[in-house]
A and B are shown apart, each in its own frame.
Chain A
Amino acid sequence: MKPAINEFDLNAYVDGQLSPEREAHVEAILAGEPEDRTHLESLVEQKRLLRAGLAAIPAEEGSFRTLRLERQLAAKLARRERPAAGDWLRRAAAAVLFVASGWGGHMLYAEVSPPMPEYVAEAAGAHLVFADKPLRPADIDPTHPVQMASWLSNELGQTVTIPSLKALSIDFVGGRLLGTKEGPLAHLVYEDEVGHRVTLTIAPHRYQGNTGLKLGQRDAMTLGYWSDATLSYAVVAKTSDAQIAAIASEITEASRSGRTAVGPPAPVD
């Protein structure tokens, strides 16, 4: 009798290669075809026996020369990953930490770019951004989201909005421009009801397209970073991955729907 499921699908099912839809389809057929089920069981058993056999072959111990080669390769990989760790987003995130963790923080990141101590490189960047202009024009109120957004957009050369995190009971406190060796970054500070601080850093990027959220840890801080079509974002706080992910998702949602932070009540003259 011709089997109802072809060999390719059956093997792919055993190896967990099918999409959830295809898997459900195969399972539906299997339910009514005892012969195919027996065949499947024999394939599963075969793979299990093979695994057991292979695992029993002692392979932990190699020669000393192999171990030396392994160490060499590990060192090369580590060196090779440094430039990748220096990709734009990570450097932006590190710049945030650099600021967030104060002067001691420069050591954190110094290992990533060996030629120059990190604070020297950052100093060069800060000079580029700040040397020829005041830190902040006198007429800009750093706690006023609309004024900040328009000034930061101007400095960054991209339209930046200051997303509202009201939905999470997190308020906008203030913002500043950072000068880093990557150029100017917008640095926004938020605070929750009990005074925990969250910072959001926004920077224009020079490539096409979006990236998903990535999470990382440094010095008990959790950071999440991602990009949309034109801007890159880094959120930092001393909190859990889940919280950072929630904040990140609220920020993307707020940017999409244009929910911007509102400032303090206008002063009554």
Chain B
Amino acid sequence: MARQSTIETLHEHVVSLRRFALVLTRNRDDAEDLVQETLTRAIAAIDSYQSGTDLRAWLFRIMNNVHISAARKRQVRDAAGATLPDPVAEATQSLRVEVRQVLAALDELPDSQREAILLMALEDMKYKDAAEILNVPLGTFMSRIARGREALRRAMEGAKSVRLRIVGGCQ
């Protein structure tokens, strides 16, 4: 019963972790590394998982920790200037212009706001759990959500007015 459902949902969580990782790293190899490192650490830290608690939140928390330390290392490597095709941009090529714009705007946000917004868009979870995953106080999390979304909204409005001007210019 409960045991089966945990195992069944694990795959779903892994897919969700990969999606989160893809947006964070914008690189398929880095994202897969991040997922693998998260799973490896989860296996090693299995004793810290309390059964009956939110498995998804536990995995995301591990991934966030892995990401923070990996991001530091990557900064050094990225300085060398390796540019790989961006899987997010590639995948969203065919989508509506507004969808691409909001993803592009998300990419411009500071990491802290981007992660908070991303988590709430990916998963329906309590603010309290999301704040724990990102290891920040609830108030900080809420202000990141509010500030980040406000920035996205402005970016979207800016993009809209540019679009309107282009259309207007054609008439």
Contacts and interface: CB of A to CB of B under 8 A. Distances in A.
Given A47-B120, A77-B7, A56 B153 contact: no
Interface stretch (A23-31, A80-88, A256-264): A80-88
Given A11-B146, A216-B1, A66 B43 contact: no
A46 B156 contact: yes
Contacts of A207: none
A206 interface: no
A116 to B, nearest CB: 20
A15 B120 contact: yes
Contact of B100 (A12, A51, A53, A62): A53
B57 interface: no
A84 B52 contact: yes
Interface string B25-40: 0000000100110011
A8 to B, nearest CB: 5
Nearest to B52: A84
Contacts of B2: 81, 85
Contacts of A57: 19, 22-23, 87-88, 91-92
A60 to B, nearest CB: 6
A255 to B, nearest CB: 26
A46 B120 CA distance: 12
B121 interface: yes
Contacts, number: 131
Interface in B88-119: 88, 91-92, 95-96, 98-100, 102-103, 106, 117-118
Q: Is the interface of B mostly helix, strand, loop or mixed?
A: helix
Contact of B142 (A11, A47, A52): A11
Given A15-B124, A73-B42, A77-B51, 8 more contacts: A49-B102, A60-B15, A66-B18, A66-B39, A69-B40, A77-B49, A80-B49, A81-B51
Interface of B: 1-3, 6-7, 10-11, 14-16, 18-19, 22-23, 32, 35-36, 39-40, 42-43, 46-47, 49, 51-52, 55, 87-88, 91-92, 95-96, 98-100, 102-103, 106, 117-118, 120-122, 124, 126-127, 142-143, 145-146, 149-150, 152-153, 156
Interface of A: 7-8, 10-12, 15-17, 42-43, 46-47, 49-54, 56-60, 62-63, 65-66, 69-70, 72-74, 76-78, 80-82, 84-85, 216-217
